[in-house]
Structure 1
Amino acid sequence: MTTTTSEKKKIDIDHHVQKGIEYHELGALEQATHQFRIAAKEGSPIGMLLYGLSLRHGWGCRANSTLAFQYLQKAAEHAVDGLQKSSEGKTKMDALLQSRKGELVLAIYELGVSFDQGWGTARSRETAFYYFKIAAQLGDADAQNEVGRCYYDGYGTKKDVYQAAKYYRLAAAQGRGLMGNSWIYKSKYDSVASTVDDEHDKSSSSSNKS
């Protein structure tokens, strides 16, 4: 199948992301951020995520929480659109985005963190919970722990220890259980166990397909 000009451009953009990651792992943060910026400016959702995180933390650039939030928000919007695409009739870029599903879900989680901490935007418990829950339902273990915390503390949502146990169990099933959380395995919370197993299986199946 012949690669179209548009597909080739998108694959070239991903090359900037890959180079940026390589530079980042070598500790060459300025070069890494430069590559992420190029990819972000060209519309790469993953480039937007990584450039946004670079701006938030000041990795190889001057920290700018407001601009970081803008890029993370764009990345999350693209992530939601990309993850909702049908698996049928994929272009090469669609397949590439699916292979990077974890990073796209991370964009949604990081947007939740922005609202949770008030980084670059007004702090909002309810909005933070909203994005954490989307990322949690898409299989992100850190987001699952955050949703568990929100339900347990009544943070941005109504307090519900049964739902808290459910999401904490989902995170634990991925090896991200929290110390001191043995209470979630009490028999009175077993009613959520089957739901947890079902959601964990769906997450694993989705990851295997990507």
Structure 2
Amino acid sequence: MGNAAETCNVGNCYYYGIGVERDLCKAFAYYQKPAEMGDAAGTCNVGFCYNYGVGVETNMRKAHMYYQKAAKMGDIFALVGYCYENKIGVKKNGRKAFEYYQKSADIGEVQGTNNAGRCYENGIGVERDIHIYKAFEYYKKSAGMGYAMGVYNVGYYYHYGNGVKKNERKAFKYYKQSAEMGYADGMYCVGEFYQKGLTVEKNIEVI
């Protein structure tokens, strides 16, 4: 459905052989798709592939071009954190991943702000926030900056009452907003609300 982050995750599965036979050529192909969508992480991954010859012939000129392109997207610290979190060109290190996401958040980079929230939610490189207050705070900040995944995450938290009082009306509002931004999970949740009639009139018609 064109979700850049999930397309990247499929590439990771092929790269690491998670749930599927390892196939570096397919990993490269899936990294290319989000890169073409303008996704920073996907662009960085394509640079990594050209740098180390993952599923494609090594080409340092192209590697540099993609790294530079990713850096120009603004989420420089977030990209470094992503590499540490996912063992891309460096040893996996959750603490360093969080540190770079936090640096990213401190200077107002949207993806890093969202990822810092995810670290607090899941205990990646930092003590897990069992009450989810900090995670919600970071998701709310990234949503305010117009980051589709952050908008969806805020909706999810209102939907299930994580770190905030449950409010399905607000959940629908944020899900709908993320859906309008093209976020696939948000689209699914909007459909689910209409299917079940949650805070909106039940409507299962095919348009």
TM-score, structure 1 normalization:
0.57
**C-alpha displacement at 1:21, in angstroms?**
6.7
Are the aligned partners of 2:168 and 2:198 in contact in 1 as well (CA < 8 Å)? no
**C-alpha displacement at 1:109, in angstroms?**
0.6
Match of 1:28 in 2: 52
Higher RCO, 1 vs 2 (CA within 8 Å, ≥6 residues apart): 1
Of 45-54 and 178-187, deviating more is 178-187
**C-alpha displacement at 1:135, in angstroms?**
0.7
Match of 1:122 in 2: 127
Distance across 1 between alignment mates of 2:145 and 2:44: 26
Are the aligned partners of 1:168 and 1:184 in contact in 2 as well (CA < 8 Å)? no
Match of residue 67, structure 1, among 67, 90, 96: 96
Q: CA RMSD in A?
A: 3.3
**C-alpha displacement at 1:189, in angstroms?**
4.5
Query: Which residue identity lines up with residue 152 of structure 2 in the other structure?
Result: N
Which runs of structure 2 are paired with 1:4-23 in the superposition (5 Å)? Answer: 23=47
1:140 pairs with 2:147: yes
Query: Which residue identity lines up with residue 182 of structure 1 in the other structure?
Result: G
1:108 pairs with 2:117: no
Distance across 1 between alignment mates of 2:151 and 2:120: 16
Matched residues, number: 142
Match of 2:18 in 1: none
1:158 pairs with 2:187: no
Distance across 2 between alignment mates of 1:22 and 1:117: 27
Distance across 2 between alignment mates of 1:151 and 1:161: 6
Are the aligned partners of 2:75 and 2:111 in contact in 1 as well (CA < 8 Å)? no
Match of 1:76 in 2: 105
Compare the two structures and name the one with the higher helix fraction. Answer: 1
Note the residue ranges of structure 2 that are not aligned, 5 or more in a row. 1-42, 55-59, 202-207
Distance across 2 between alignment mates of 1:187 and 1:61: 45
Match of 1:205 in 2: none
1:175 pairs with 2:186: no
Deviations along 1:83-137, one digit per CA (max 9) or x if unpaired, are xxxxxxxxxxxxxxxxxxxxx2111111111111110001111100110011112
TM-score, structure 2 normalization:
0.58
**C-alpha displacement at 1:53, in angstroms?**
1.0
Are the aligned partners of 1:69 and 1:119 in contact in 2 as well (CA < 8 Å)? yes
**C-alpha displacement at 1:68, in angstroms?**
1.2
